[in-house]
Amino acid sequence: MTQDTAAFMPPYRLLMGAGPSNVHPRVLQAMASSLVGHLDPNFLAVMDDVRSLLRYVFRTENPVTLPISGTGTAGMEAAMVNIIEPGDTFVVAINGYFGQRLGEIAGRSGANVIAVEHEMGKAVDAERVREALARAGKVKAVGVVHAETSTGAASSIKEIADVAHEAGALLVVDAVTSLGGVELHVDEWGVDVCYSCTQKCIGAPPGLAPLTLSPRAVETLQSRTTKVRSFYLDLTELSSYWDRRAYHHTAPISMIYALREALRLIAEEGVEARWERHTRNGESLRAGLHAMGLNVVADPEVQLPSLTAVRAPEEVDEAQARRYLL
């Protein structure tokens, strides 16, 4: 049997899906840089740059701010396995597919999951979360998706954070489709755990999940009475690598090069200017869609600037339309 050894030359695509997004040539060039060891002094300096830049983009001073090796779902799972212990109660606001996934992973982590269901395309209602907390008794954490990828709807994080903290619970926020493209203030809004990905608004290839923990969340992690269920995602171990340079696993060196360059591009533009650019571009896109007679899923008042979910007309074969666009 012979093997095909021809080089792979992927076609150029203008990526208009929910992710990955197109990557700046500088990011691709950085990713192609020569490898060094994951404990090389030069690479350790890159790690320090990445942490500082992530704090800038998250709008936080949290010491525990780092990229998890894996995509956004790895960030989601890291958040759950580190905060949740078996028997903890976790309240999750669900207004789309990724809220459902957050609840699923919390359950697999041993939580008693209380779902607060919302209509698709609507924002999470903080008052409904408050009512669920009042009925639930002692709650370890509340989870919410800031930018629901499946519908294009944004939720008001500050209001939900206030509700969670009034009940003595941590707030876990999924910022997979918002970090770097939608206004987000981790410290100012009172977010305790926030995770994201690299392949959407950050503008890098998929492969890392930026994550940050508030001091409250770190205290919760350090006071666990059971071991974190995942060795690979254990933030007590990962923090030792990023702080004391103690070996945990081999870091994805090339991806961290790429992330550093993508974050540098954000800092050069200014994160606030980047939020504004996404807002302008999103408004222009939706104006064009409406001019074509197409509707979107999210309500206008909660529409994300970074992602627009389009409704296919009933008479259109949406699979055929996607093949045509490709």
Q: How far apart are CA 163 and CA 143, in angstroms?
A: 12
Q: Note the pLDDT of residue 75.
A: 98
Domain annotation for the chain: domains and CATH numbers: 36-265 (3.40.640.10)
Q: Note the pLDDT of residue 318.
A: 86
> Could you tell me which residues are beta bridge partners of residue 277?
none
Q: Which residues contact 312 (CB under 8 A, 6 or more apart)?
A: 318, 321
Sorting pLDDT into bands at 50, 70 and 90, what band is 209? very high
Q: What is the 3-state secondary structure (H, E, C) of 137-204?
A: CCCCEEEEECEECCCCEECCHHHHHHHHHHCCCEEEEECCCCCCCCCCCHHHHCCCEEECCCCCCCCC
Burial of 55-85, coded b for 16+ CB within 10 Å and e otherwise, reads: bebbbbebbbbbbbbbbbbbbbbbbbbbbbb
Sorting pLDDT into bands at 50, 70 and 90, what band is 237? very high
Q: Note the pLDDT of residue 255.
A: 98
Q: How far apart are CA 202 and CA 52, in angstroms?
A: 15
Q: Note the pLDDT of residue 270.
A: 98
Integer CA distances (angstroms), 271 to 181, 182, 210, 283, in order: 8, 9, 16, 19
Question: Stretch 72-84: mean pLDDT, rounded?
Answer: 98
Q: How far apart are CA 36 and CA 19, in angstroms?
A: 29
Question: Stretch 286-291: mean pLDDT, rounded?
Answer: 96
Is residue 227's pLDDT more than 90?
A: yes
Is residue 324's pLDDT more than 90?
A: no
Lowest mean pLDDT among 12-21, 51-60, 78-87, 96-105: 12-21
Q: What digits encode the pLDDT tens for the residues 127-158? A: 999 999 999 999 999 999 999 999 999 999 99
Identify residue 151 by its one-letter amino acid code.
Answer: T
Is residue 322's pLDDT more than 90?
A: no
Q: Note the pLDDT of residue 124.
A: 98
Alpha-carbon torsion (112, 116, 121, 125), positive or negative: negative
Integer CA distances (angstroms), 12 to 15, 22, 27, 90, 121, in order: 9, 10, 16, 43, 32
Average pLDDT of every residue of the chain: 96
SS3 content of the chain, % helix, strand, coil (to 5): 45, 15, 45
Question: Stretch 49-71: mean pLDDT, rounded?
Answer: 98
Contact 37, 43 (CB under 8 A): yes
Q: How far apart are CA 142 and CA 24, in angstroms?
A: 36
Residue 214 has which token pair?
Answer: 């508030």
Residue 32 has which token pair?
Answer: 């192609």
Residue 77 has which token pair?
Answer: 């799972």
Question: Stretch 77-86: mean pLDDT, rounded?
Answer: 98
